[in-house]
Structure 1
């Protein structure tokens, strides 16, 4: 009824009241399509530097800490291992910071799991790593470091590069 009234009103406006009023026929056709997204198990890792600071004599032990951030897909299990480091003679159980240039001296240090300074954090076996389950957001894992009291080598900048690896 409303269509007819609208049609009659339109015809009278244009002065064609004697023309038949018909609704325009309209044809349609439809199609459907799927929208998909696959979430694959994935992890990314980022690490922050650990600086033990500046010391004149290594006659007492000192500690420091940093974080390794792991972001994994929700419900994805992961484990993070830390390499022995690039210091000359480093192993998982005995890590060293090396001097620069011709200085072949080293400084002993160690990296520990987030629970303190008693369990070494390594990468040789799964048990040496820190494990968790992803939640889709960054998870900060604390790396505890310790330098024991030891004979003080020549003044220099001592360093080691440790590789953090996430397994998933």
Structure 2
């Protein structure tokens, strides 16, 4: 059976199996009864958080002093939900919220470079992970909010070995 014949056969089966126009609903006049149906939707407090990487500009030669960079955090929380944003110490051993460290990634390089994360461009308010102490506080509006994280790495007079120095800091939204 070729394709046109199959299509024709299919159309005939549809007609035989009862394809027809719907019959209008009947109208009744004996009375009626009603019931109330409750419809509800519960919205629970909630938040999501996302980050962008912080990459300091490459340093060459014998630079000393602070090197600055920024990153962004984005948070969406349900309207009127209070929250705190915290940043932990990072993944390098011996890092603390007040003295974070970047570690070299090459085998054998044990050098670390100190850096800080701050809530303000003047580097006056450290950003930590202790609620009620050094987290950033806000309230949800139901739309995305963006926050800037200000970073500052400190280079000493002794320049470390060439390498990529890094740490992974976890951002947490508490609600």
Q: TM-score, normalised by structure 1?
A: 0.79
TM-fit CA distance, 1:148: 2.1
2:43 corresponds to 1:39: yes
- 4+ runs deviating over 2 angstroms: 24-32
> What is the CA deviation profile of residues 5-35 of structure 1, one whole-angstrom value per residue up to 9, with x for unaligned ones?
xxxxxxxxxxxxxxxxxxx754555443122
Residue 58 of structure 2: aligned partner: 54
Q: What is the distance in 2 between the residues matched to 1:60 and 1:116?
A: 15
User: What are the residue-to-residue correspondences of 1:1-168 with 2, within 5 Å?
Assistant: 26-27=29-30, 28-57=32-61, 58-100=63-105, 101-114=107-120, 116-150=122-156, 151-168=158-175
| Secondary structure in 1 matching 2:133 | helix
TM-fit CA distance, 1:152: 1.6
| Secondary structure in 1 matching 2:165 | coil
TM-fit CA distance, 1:163: 0.5
* Aligned alpha-carbon RMSD (Å): 1.7
TM-fit CA distance, 1:62: 1.8
Structure 1, gaps ≥5 residues long: 1-23
Structure of greater Rg: 1
Q: TM-score, normalised by structure 2?
A: 0.76
Q: What is the distance in 2 between the residues matched to 1:145 and 1:45?
A: 19
Matched-pair contact (CA < 8 Å) for 1:85–1:160: yes
